[in-house]
Amino acid sequence: MTPISAADTCHVASSPCPADWPAQRLSEARSIVADFVHHPDSLIILACHAIAAHSPDPQERREALALAGLLIAVSNRKPKGGAA
């Protein structure tokens, strides 16, 4: 997964992107993972992917990908509803 550059994402002229937007997204992603009880699995998985893409710490990136993989594996085993 390659990091997204600021030039690739700021297309709307009326809303300029701050120069430190990757750091802000990384901070938001870390807070979502830290408070995982209050967030749906899909949001946690997205946050893990953001951490894996933007964190400078290789161990944090590995742990984020491992958590995302675990959540995906568990969600595939959960019943989706309907008659049992």
Give every CB contact of residue 18 below 8 A, 6+ residues apart in sequence: 24
Q: Has this prediction a pTM greater than 0.75?
A: no
Distance CA 81, CA 84 (A): 8
Give the C-alpha distances (Å, rounded to integers) separating 19 from 10, 28, 56, 71: 11, 16, 17, 32
pLDDT at 78 over 60: yes
% of the chain surpassing 90 pLDDT: 60
pLDDT number for residue 75: 84
Instruction: Give the three-state DSSP class for 18.
Output: coil
Return the higher-pLDDT residue of 16 and 29: 29
